[in-house]
Structure 1
């Protein structure tokens, strides 16, 4: 009986538009090929050049962000293989659940650290000099470890129950289904609201120009704007598609409209993996030192003058007057 059920689930998870899913797989492979060396190079700078654990900035948050992106990237070849085989998910139930666990965990971590980075910049610009818990903890790894630990329980619903296509509602909606969907939506919508608030406040401060120099304020606006762009391109479309898919599935299960909604959702989920390519923009907007360091190490022909030296004991980059980035 179990084998029959598993066969039915596998059949129901077949990709009806195989050519389109092959295109999805090709996009994921391209993202993997481009994003893996990019994020690996960023990780190398954080560890061996900046020594993020000794830095007096928010490099700890950014290190965890790139770590989450790299872990997420390792899921893409498996998903691409499933799509090429004509299935929306792995035929192996263990692999299916492990994949969903990794996607939930690292996607949530990526969103969390993007949000924390923006909140940190918000306090620096809108409330400079005011003591806050985030400013006290950002120089230590405790808050980053806490974020990872808080994300782990949120992935438990993905492991409790064998459900159709490993991410769909069954005929009978259960508590696990509700928990899984609540996690999916809240980890995107709540941070998005926070980001909108931070962006509006920072932009207002830039217009008033009452605190800080204009360059610093503009850089903060660029940062929160880049994070908003990442959310708008990568996360919001798949969230809306997920909402429509659930509405269609509950009202017209088995209808062709549901199949089309599932195909659209899978495609927008593939688009969400683009954040692994867009997140490095956040690093550049967070720190001009990081941008200069990255270019001087990997693209020295774009830097005029001598490469930027790094003090290995502190991870700090001096401010030479002669070096200019093209």
Structure 2
């Protein structure tokens, strides 16, 4: 093996461990196979059963969260195909740019709507009745469109250069100030997209849990379930997104310090694997946020698996939607 050959493979976006990348591809295929029908069925309920556009805006946030996840899922088969062929990304420049745009826009939207939903529920539980900016804004359904539009500029730095193949802040004689600025902007987008929502989510979760534990009235079983659910949201977010963030940080350190190609390769492979892990969020989001209401779960089962609920009546029209999501809105 010639000197720097492994490092050159990384720069050319070729997988140095093809067997491991085929395993990554298999994991993505499993995630896609399980998450696509789940998200599609929940999306169907929001549109045709609950008519989310006529309901409270919290359900519009949930709809957008599921929509962002399902759009992100469509990227997984392409990434899996690349990994199977021993490529860390498509060699076709147009496909690569389109993939980066879809991945960062929809991943960012998923995290953004998850964060907004958590803030909304924080005010509902911890400060009920208090006037706040979010409560004023959410009276207008157009706020969801604004969130999508605000996310668009964040995709620009990710597509200016080859982000996915870990070339940020690569030491080179051809380095320029513009390249350094672009690299820094790209990394800032990646880290702030996860770290800031995580801090907000931890803050909201801690205060919601403390508030619920201080309640002296109400069904204790429901309160315990509520504490479990809000804690689960934070745990799932941490499990899906923090590992890839740490791996990215380690990878940047190895690049900036010009570490041995062996360590740069291991860091790049670990980062790719933990990015695959982050896609599990698309599978867990609908389970946590949409099925936190027993009535929504009953509605889902009665629609798709009616044999399970033979002797139970479940409200199916939009007029009962507020009752269906009452537990999900006020407790989580």
* Fold shared, TM-score > 0.5 on shorter chain: yes
2:80 is the counterpart of 1:73: no
CA distance in 1, matches of 2:115, 2:286: 15
Q: Which residue is equivalent to 1:243? A: 249
2:181 is the counterpart of 1:149: no
Q: Which residue is equivalent to 1:292? A: 298
2:126 is the counterpart of 1:163: no
Query: 1:291 Cα deviation (Å)?
Result: 1.7
Partner of 2:15, secondary structure, is coil
CA distance in 2, matches of 1:222, 1:146: 32
Q: Which residue is equivalent to 1:48? A: 48
Q: Deviation digits for residues 230-269 of structure 1, max 9, x if unmatched?
A: 2111101101111101111111256110000100000000
2:83 is the counterpart of 1:83: yes
Aligned 8 A contact 1:296 1:308 in 2: yes
Between 1 and 2, higher relative CO (CA 8 Å, sep ≥ 6) is seen in 2
Q: Which residue is equivalent to 1:322? A: none
Aligned 8 A contact 2:21 2:84 in 1: yes
Q: Deviation digits for residues 90-140 of structure 1, max 9, x if unmatched?
A: 101121121111111111111111111111111111001112222233343
CA distance in 2, matches of 1:257, 1:147: 39
Query: 1:294 Cα deviation (Å)?
Result: 0.9
State the number of aligned residues. 311
2:285 is the counterpart of 1:279: yes
Query: 1:9 Cα deviation (Å)?
Result: 7.8
Per the normalisation by structure 1, the TM-score is 0.88
Q: Are residues 137 and 314 of structure 1, via their aligned partners in 2, closer, same or farther at CA, if it must alter by over 3 Å?
A: farther
Q: Are residues 307 and 239 of structure 1, via their aligned partners in 2, closer, same or farther at CA, if it must alter by over 3 Å?
A: same
Q: Are residues 9 and 264 of structure 1, via their aligned partners in 2, closer, same or farther at CA, if it must alter by over 3 Å?
A: closer
2:197 is the counterpart of 1:198: no
Partner of 1:15, secondary structure, is coil
Aligned 8 A contact 2:10 2:16 in 1: no
Partner of 1:174, secondary structure, is helix
Q: Which residue is equivalent to 1:35? A: 35
Query: 1:300 Cα deviation (Å)?
Result: 2.5
Aligned 8 A contact 1:234 1:271 in 2: yes
2:294 is the counterpart of 1:269: no
CA distance in 1, matches of 2:264, 2:125: 46
Q: Are residues 262 and 11 of structure 1, via their aligned partners in 2, closer, same or farther at CA, if it must alter by over 3 Å?
A: closer
CA distance in 1, matches of 2:283, 2:134: 27
1:1-326 matches, within 5 Å, as 12-56=12-56, 58-160=58-160, 162-163=161-162, 166-169=165-168, 170-171=170-171, 172=175, 174-209=180-215, 214=220, 217-218=223-224, 220-252=226-258, 255-284=261-290, 286-303=292-309, 305-312=311-318, 315-316=321-322
Q: Which runs of 5+ in 2 are unaligned?
A: 1-7, 326-332
Partner of 2:199, secondary structure, is helix
Aligned 8 A contact 1:234 1:274 in 2: yes
Q: Deviation digits for residues 201-254 of structure 1, max 9, x if unmatched?
A: 111112221687656654543442222122111101101111101111111256
Q: Which runs of 5+ in 1 are unaligned?
A: 1-7, 320-326
CA distance in 2, matches of 1:212, 1:130: 22
Partner of 1:130, secondary structure, is coil
